[in-house]
Amino acid sequence: MREIVLDTETTGFDAENGDRIVEIGALELFNHLPTGKTFHVYINPERTMPKGAFDVHGLGDEFLSDKPKFAAIAQGFVDFIADDAKLVIHNASFDMKFLNAELKRAGFPVIPYERALDTLMLAREKFPGSPATLDALCRRFGVDNSNRELHGALLDSELLAEVYLELIGGRQPDLILAQAKNEDDSPVDGQMRPRAARPKPLPGRLTEAEAAAHTAFVAKLGEESVWARYDPA
């Protein structure tokens, strides 16, 4: 199962009245494991920023002036989220509204809202009444967000991926089955298979004295006891 954890940074809060996306950060999960594939781009919003609008982002007019416009990166973004992958987004309605406004402006089909999985709603359902910001969830799950002094779309996506995996039940690496591999050590169509049996069985740990004590104990229980009927001796 392919999923894309995604975050955007914008010039403001109103996609319908001129605010634009200035950064997209996304990473790929396959069967809830990061593949290492990411999509990250800064975007020229084609407008002058309101004074102080990017104080929390560390971005500004000068930094963004030579960055590509959304239309120039739209195809790469669409290709990255292709195959109807689920989009994991914190406060999905906000990001989806901006993404669809940009895609529509660039002449691309909009993304159905059904593709989005909103981790904000997921957190509120799981922990009703508790803070559900990304920072609050990082604290709850012990996710290190010490580098989040300034917002950044790719960093927030990486943090959200860890939070998301905790929200859906926690990462349990000991329960992950070994992947089937081709001769070049690559996974076989993402399929999983149990680990192979040990080439040499482990030696028994039961001593002769313990075995004799067990036999004597079972004899005292009588021939009709469960132990007597099923004891291999």
- What DSSP assignment string belongs to the chain? -EEEEEEEEESSS-GGGT--EEEEEEEEEETTEEEEEEEEEE---SSPPPTTTTTTTT--HHHHTTSPPHHHHHHHHHHHTTTT-EEEETTHHHHHHHHHHHHHHTT-PPPPGGGEEEHHHHHHHHSTTS--SHHHHHHHHT---TTTTS--HHHHHHHHHHHHHHHTT---GGGPPPEEE-TTS-EEEEEE-PPPPPSSPPPP---HHHHHHHHHHHHHH-TTSHHHHH---
**Domain for residue 117, yes or no?**
yes
Expressed as residue numbers, the domain containing 7 is 2-171
Per-residue pLDDT at 193: 47
**Domain for residue 190, yes or no?**
no
Per-residue pLDDT at 55: 46
Query: Is the model's pTM score more than 0.85?
Result: no
Q: What is the mean pLDDT of each run of 10 residues along the chain (233 residues)?
A: 95 91 96 94 86 59 92 98 94 97 97 97 96 95 79 89 92 43 49 51 69 74 60 51
Q: What is the CATH number of the domain that holds 42?
A: 3.30.420.10
**Domain for residue 207, yes or no?**
no
Total structural domains within the chain? 1
**Domain for residue 102, yes or no?**
yes
**Domain for residue 201, yes or no?**
no
Per-residue pLDDT at 205: 65
Give yes or no: 151 in active site. yes
Of 32, 40, 90, 151, the active-site residue reads 151
**Domain for residue 186, yes or no?**
no
Per-residue pLDDT at 94: 97
